[in-house]
Structure 1
Amino acid sequence: MLLMPLAEVPVGWSAHNQPSAGLDHFYQFLLEGQAQTVYDELSLCALQSLNGEEAYLLGLSSHILGFHQQALDCFDLAEKQDFLSKFVIFNRANSLRAINSYDLALEAYQAALKIDPEFVECRHNYALALYEYEQYAQAEECMRNLLVDVPDYYKASFALGNLLRHFNRLPEACEAYRLCLQVQPAYPDALNNLGLCLAGLDQKEKAIATYRLGLTADASSDHCRQNLAQALVTVKKHDLAIEEFEKFLELPIDPMQRATGIQGLMSCYLELGLHQQAFAFAESLEDKRLQTMVSLYILPIVYESEHDVNQWRSRYNDVLDLLLDQLDGFSQDDPVYEDIYSHCWGLTSFYLSYQMEDDLPLQIKLAEIFKRILKPRLASYMLPLEPHQGDGSKPLRVGVLSPHLRNHNGTFWALGWLDPLRDNPAYDVYAYNLGDDEDEVSQRFAALGCYRKLSLTPETAEAVVQQIRADDLDFLLIPDVGMHPASRIAASVRLARYQAVGWGHPITTGSECIDYYLSGAGMESADAASHYSERLVLLPRTGLNYPVPLSVHQGDDLRSRFELPADRPLLLSLQSTFKYHPRNDCTFVEICRRFPDALILFVAHMGHPSVSDRLYHRLKIRFADVGLDADQHLRFLHRLEYADYVAFFDIAHHSLDTIDWNGGNSSFQAFSRGCPVVSMPTAFMRGRHTLAMLEVLELPELIASSREEYVEISVRLLEDDDFANQMRALINERSQRLFADQEVSDCFVDFLAALPQEQLVN
Structure 2
Amino acid sequence: MMIEAEDLRPDLCTVNASNINVIIFPDWSQSEESLGLDLERVIKIVNNLPYNNLIILFIDSNNISKDIANLVLSGVVMNLLMTDDSDSSMGCEISLLENLDVCEWELFTSEIHARIILTQENQEVLVYSQADNLPAYTIEEFSEIELSQLILGLGNKLFQRKQWQAAIAQYKKLLDLQVDNLEIYWNLIHCYRNSNLTDEYYQTLDQAIALYPTEGSLHFSLIIDLRRNGCIKEAIASAEKACNLMPDDYTFKILKYLTVPSIYNTEDEIYFYRQRYIQGLKDLIAQTSLHTPEEKSNALAGIGRLTNFYLSYQAQNDRDLQSQYGQLVHGIMAANYPQWVVPLSMPNLQPQQRIRIGYVSHFLHSYSGTLWLTGWLRYCNHEHFEIYCYYTGNDPDPVTQKFQEYSDVFHHIPYNLPGVCEQIIADNLHILVFPEIGMDPQTMQVAGLRLAPVQCVAWGHPVTTGLPTIDYFLSSELMEPENAQEHYAEKLIRLPNIGVSYPKPYIPPIIKTRSDFQLADDAVIYLCCQAPFKYLPQYDFIFAEIARRVPHAKFVFLRGTLLQQRLKDAFAAVDLNSEDYCVFLSIPERLDYLMINLLSDVYLDTFTWSGGNTTLEAIACNLPIVTSPGEFMRGRHSDSFLKMLGVIDTIAENPTEYIDIAVKLGLNPTWRSNIAEQMSQRHHLLFDDQTCVAGLEAFYKQVIEEYCQ
Same fold per superposition (TM over 0.5): yes
Please name the residue that 2:696 is paired with: 748
Establish whether residue 356 from structure 1 lines up as the match of residue 315 from structure 2.
yes
Q: How big is the shift at 1:380?
A: 2.2
Comparing 191-200 and 581-590, the one that deviates more:
191-200
Superposed counterparts of 1:479-518, under 5 Å: 479-518=435-474
Kindly tell me: are residues 739 and 178 of structure 1, through their superposed partners in 2, closer, same or farther at Cα, counting changes over 3 Å?
farther
For the residues of structure 2 that align with 1:191 and 1:470, how far apart are their CA atoms?
Answer: 50
**Residue 466 of structure 1, aligned match among 422, 427, 451:** 422
Deviation string for 1:491-542 (max 9, x for gaps)?
Answer: 2112222222222211111111112211111111111121111121122111
Q: How big is the shift at 1:407?
A: 0.6
Please name the residue that 2:554 is paired with: 599
Q: Contact between 2:432 and 2:452, CA under 8 Å: does it hold in 1? A: yes
Kindly tell me: are residues 691 and 194 of structure 1, through their superposed partners in 2, closer, same or farther at Cα, counting changes over 3 Å?
farther
Amino acid at match of 1:540: P
Q: How big is the shift at 1:427?
A: 3.0
Q: How big is the shift at 1:417?
A: 0.7
Q: Contact between 1:434 and 1:453, CA under 8 Å: does it hold in 2? A: yes
For the residues of structure 1 that align with 2:132 and 2:380, how far apart are their CA atoms?
Answer: 41
Kindly tell me: are residues 372 and 723 of structure 1, through their superposed partners in 2, closer, same or farther at Cα, counting changes over 3 Å?
same
Please name the residue that 2:629 is paired with: 681
Deviation string for 1:402-460 (max 9, x for gaps)?
Answer: 222111112121111112348x243332222222211111111122232222233xxx5
Please name the residue that 2:686 is paired with: 738
Please name the residue that 2:490 is paired with: 534
For the residues of structure 2 that align with 1:534 and 1:293, how far apart are their CA atoms?
Answer: 24
Deviation string for 1:259-307 (max 9, x for gaps)?
Answer: 4433212112213433333232333333398564222463222211111
Comparing 307-316 and 206-215, the one that deviates more:
206-215
Establish whether residue 282 from structure 1 lines up as the match of residue 239 from structure 2.
yes
Please name the residue that 1:20 is paired with: none
Please name the residue that 2:103 is paired with: none
Superposed counterparts of 1:107-506, under 5 Å: 178=136, 183=141, 202-205=162-165, 222-223=182-183, 225-246=185-206, 258-284=215-241, 285-286=243-244, 287=247, 290=250, 292-296=253-257, 298-327=259-288, 329-333=289-293, 337-421=296-380, 424-447=382-405, 448-456=407-415, 460-506=416-462
Report SS of the residue matched to 1:701. coil
Kindly tell me: are residues 308 and 730 of structure 1, through their superposed partners in 2, closer, same or farther at Cα, counting changes over 3 Å?
same
Q: Contact between 2:425 and 2:451, CA under 8 Å: does it hold in 1? A: yes
Please name the residue that 2:62 is paired with: none
For the residues of structure 2 that align with 1:760 and 1:246, how far apart are their CA atoms?
Answer: 60
Kindly tell me: are residues 203 and 539 of structure 1, through their superposed partners in 2, closer, same or farther at Cα, counting changes over 3 Å?
farther
Please name the residue that 2:524 is paired with: 569
Amino acid at match of 1:261: L
Please name the residue that 1:67 is paired with: none
Stretches of structure 2 lacking an aligned partner (at least 5 in a row)? 1-116, 119-128
Establish whether residue 549 from structure 1 lines up as the match of residue 505 from structure 2.
yes
Q: Contact between 2:389 and 2:409, CA under 8 Å: does it hold in 1? A: yes
Establish whether residue 588 from structure 1 lines up as the match of residue 549 from structure 2.
no
Kindly tell me: are residues 176 and 292 of structure 1, through their superposed partners in 2, closer, same or farther at Cα, counting changes over 3 Å?
same
Please name the residue that 1:693 is paired with: 641
Please name the residue that 1:131 is paired with: none
Q: How big is the shift at 1:556?
A: 4.0
Please name the residue that 2:580 is paired with: 632
Deviation string for 1:440-493 (max 9, x for gaps)?
Answer: 11111122232222233xxx5334422332222222222221112122112211
For the residues of structure 2 that align with 1:468 and 1:738, how far apart are their CA atoms?
Answer: 33
Q: Contact between 1:174 and 1:198, CA under 8 Å: does it hold in 2? A: no
After TM superposition, the score normalised by the length of structure 2 is: 0.74
Comparing 568-577 and 231-240, the one that deviates more:
231-240
Report SS of the residue matched to 2:346. coil
For the residues of structure 2 that align with 1:349 and 1:570, how far apart are their CA atoms?
Answer: 35
Deviation string for 1:229-281 (max 9, x for gaps)?
Answer: 34433333344444554565577899xxx544332121122134333332323
Number of residue pairs aligned between Structure 1 and Structure 2: 576
Report SS of the residue matched to 1:523. coil
Report SS of the residue matched to 2:478. helix
Q: Contact between 1:555 and 1:650, CA under 8 Å: does it hold in 2? A: no
Deviation string for 1:587-623 (max 9, x for gaps)?
Answer: 1121111222222111135xxxxxx1x4111111111
Kindly tell me: are residues 221 and 445 of structure 1, through their superposed partners in 2, closer, same or farther at Cα, counting changes over 3 Å?
farther
For the residues of structure 1 that align with 2:185 and 2:132, how far apart are their CA atoms?
Answer: 20
Stretches of structure 1 lacking an aligned partner (at least 5 in a row)? 1-150, 153-170, 606-611
Kindly tell me: are residues 195 and 502 of structure 1, through their superposed partners in 2, closer, same or farther at Cα, counting changes over 3 Å?
farther
For the residues of structure 2 that align with 1:688 and 1:364, how far apart are their CA atoms?
Answer: 23
Q: Contact between 1:198 and 1:204, CA under 8 Å: does it hold in 2? A: yes
Amino acid at match of 1:746: A
The root-mean-square deviation of aligned C-alpha atoms, in Å, is 3.4
For the residues of structure 2 that align with 1:174 and 1:694, how far apart are their CA atoms?
Answer: 54
Amino acid at match of 1:237: L
Task: Determine which structure has the larger helix proportion and give its number.
Answer: 1
Report SS of the residue matched to 2:333. helix
Comparing 367-376 and 639-648, the one that deviates more:
367-376
Q: Contact between 2:223 and 2:236, CA under 8 Å: does it hold in 1? A: no
Report SS of the residue matched to 2:707. coil
Amino acid at match of 1:579: K
Kindly tell me: are residues 550 and 393 of structure 1, through their superposed partners in 2, closer, same or farther at Cα, counting changes over 3 Å?
same
For the residues of structure 1 that align with 2:199 and 2:139, how far apart are their CA atoms?
Answer: 31
**Residue 661 of structure 1, aligned match among 598, 609, 613:** 609
Amino acid at match of 1:435: G
Report SS of the residue matched to 2:682. helix
**Amino-acid identity (%):** 29
Q: How big is the shift at 1:192?
A: 9.0
Q: How big is the shift at 1:391?
A: 2.6
